[in-house]
C-alpha cells in the first residue's frame, strides 16, 4: 500500500486530491495549515497533520509524523490578483514564501528519504497562468513560473536516484479559494487608473468558455504520480489543456 503526503488539503484541489488518492486505496497524509478532521472521511488510511510550508520546524514535524512516503504533492499555495504597480514588496515576498520557497523547502526536506530508498515521486502543482500571459496576476504567475523552472531542472537531477518529478498545471477554477485566501492581500490593488481595465478582465472571468473543476486536478495529479514515462507537464482542466495545445 502506497502513501502520499499532500499539502494544502483544507479545501479546493488539495482536498479533492486527498479524497481521490484515498478512494484508490492509498494511505493519505492530508497536510493543512489549520487541521480540520471534518472535511475528510474517517479512515485508518487517512491522517490529517498540521503543516505551514513557510516554517522549517513545521515541515520537519509533519514529515516526522508522516513516516516514509512514496509521493509528495506540493499543492499548498496562495492567490493574488491586482496591479503590480501598487503591490507592496512585502506582499510579493509573502506570495513567494508559500508558492515558491515553501515548495522548495518541502521538496528538499523529503528528498533524503526518496534518495535513500531510490524511489519516489514529487508532484508540484503550478497553474495554467504559466502557459500564457494573463493580466493582473504578475506576482502569482512569477511565483508559479519559478517552480516550473525548478521542477524541470530537478527532474534531471533526480533521475540518477530513480526519483520522478512532475508538474500539474490547473486551469481557472472558480470553485477554489484563490480569491478568498488572498482577500486581505488584494485590498487596494486595483487603483483608479487601472479600474476600467480591471473591470473588463473581471467581466471576462465571469463568462469563461471552460473552467477547471477540483476533480479534474485530482485525477491529473493521480495520473502524474503514477506516470512512469518521461512526461514532465500535465495540464489539468479543459481550459488548461486547450492553452497547452495552443502554445
> Minimal CA–CA distance to 47: which of 61, 57, 59, 35?
35
- Which residues in 91-225 belong to E strands, given as ranges? 120-125, 163-170
167-199 burial, b at 16+ Cβ within 10 Å, e below that, comes to: bbbbbbbeebbbeebbeebbeebbeeebeeebe
Residue 77 maps to which CATH number? 3.40.50.720
- 219 with 24: CB under 8 angstroms? no
In the 8-state DSSP scheme, what is residue 49? E
Query: What pLDDT digit, counting tens, does each position of 172-226 carry?
Result: 887 665 555 555 666 779 999 999 999 998 887 777 678 899 999 999 999 999 9
Whether the pTM exceeds 0.85: the reply is: yes
pLDDT band at 86 (very low <50, low <70, confident <90, very high): very high
3 state SS of 32: strand
Phi, psi of 219 (to 5 degrees): -65, -40
pLDDT for 240 beyond 90? yes
> Minimal CA–CA distance to 10: which of 57, 61, 49?
49
Instruction: Please say if 140 is a catalytic residue.
Output: yes
Instruction: Please give the residue range of the domain that contains residue 222.
Output: 3-246
Per annotation, catalytic residue among 13, 140, 172, 194: 140
CB atoms within 10 A of CB 236: 29
Lowest mean pLDDT across 42-51, 65-74, 143-152, 176-185: 176-185
**Number of separate helices (H) and strands (E) present in the chain:** 9, 7
Give the position of cell 463568462.
207
Query: What pLDDT digit, counting tens, does each position of 1-39 carry?
Result: 899 999 999 999 999 999 999 999 999 999 999 999 899
pLDDT band at 238 (very low <50, low <70, confident <90, very high): very high
- Number of structural domains, the chain? 1
Q: If DSSP states are collapsed to H, E and C, what string results for 3-27?
A: EEEECCCCCHHHHHHHHHHHHCCCE
- The span from the CA of 244 to the CA of 247, in Å, is 5
- The span from the CA of 121 to the CA of 167, in Å, is 11
Contacts of 128 (CB under 8 A, 6+ apart): 169, 170, 171, 172, 212, 235, 237, 239, 240, 243, 244
- The span from the CA of 137 to the CA of 81, in Å, is 5
Query: What pLDDT digit, counting tens, does each position of 96-132 carry?
Result: 999 999 999 999 999 999 999 999 999 999 999 999 8
Amino acid at each position: 500500500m502506497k502513501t502520499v503526503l499532500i499539502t494544502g488539503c483544507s479545501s479546493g484541489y488539495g482536498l479533492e486530491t486527498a479524497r481521490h488518492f484515498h478512494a484508490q486505496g492509498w494511505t493519505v497524509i492530508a497536510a493543512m495549515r489549520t487541521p480540520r478532521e471534518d472535511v475528510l472521511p474517517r479512515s485508518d488510511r487517512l491522517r490529517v497533520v498540521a503543516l505551514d510550508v513557510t516554517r522549517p520546524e513545521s515541515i520537519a514535524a509533519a514529515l516526522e509524523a508522516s513516516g516514509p512516503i512514496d509521493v509528495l504533492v506540493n499543492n499548498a499555495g496562495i492567490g493574488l490578483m491586482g496591479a503590480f504597480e501598487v503591490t507592496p514588496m512585502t506582499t510579493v515576498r509573502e506570495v513567494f514564501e508559500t508558492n515558491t520557497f515553501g515548495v522548495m523547502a518541502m521538496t528538499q526536506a523529503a528528498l533524503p528519504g526518496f534518495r535513500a530508498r531510490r524511489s519516489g515521486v514529487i508532484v508540484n502543482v503550478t497553474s495554467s497562468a504559466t502557459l500564457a500571459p494573463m493580466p493582473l496576476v504578475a506576482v502569482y504567475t512569477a511565483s508559479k513560473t519559478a517552480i516550473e523552472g525548478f521542477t524541470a531542472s530537478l527532474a534531471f537531477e533526480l533521475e540518477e536516484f530513480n526519483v520522478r518529478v512532475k508538474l500539474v498545471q490547473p486551469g481557472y477554477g472558480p470553485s477554489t479559494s484563490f480569491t478568498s485566501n488572498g482577500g486581505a492581500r488584494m485590498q487596494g490593488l486595483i487603483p483608479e487608473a487601472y479600474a476600467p481595465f480591471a473591470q473588463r478582465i473581471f467581466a471576462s472571468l465571469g463568462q469563461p468558455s471552460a473552467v477547471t473543476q477540483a476533480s479534474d486536478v485530482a485525477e491529473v495529479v493521480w495520473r502524474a504520480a503514477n506516470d512512469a514515462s518521461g512526461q514532465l507537464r500535465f495540464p489539468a482542466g479543459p481550459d488548461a489543456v486547450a492553452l497547452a495545445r495552443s502554445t
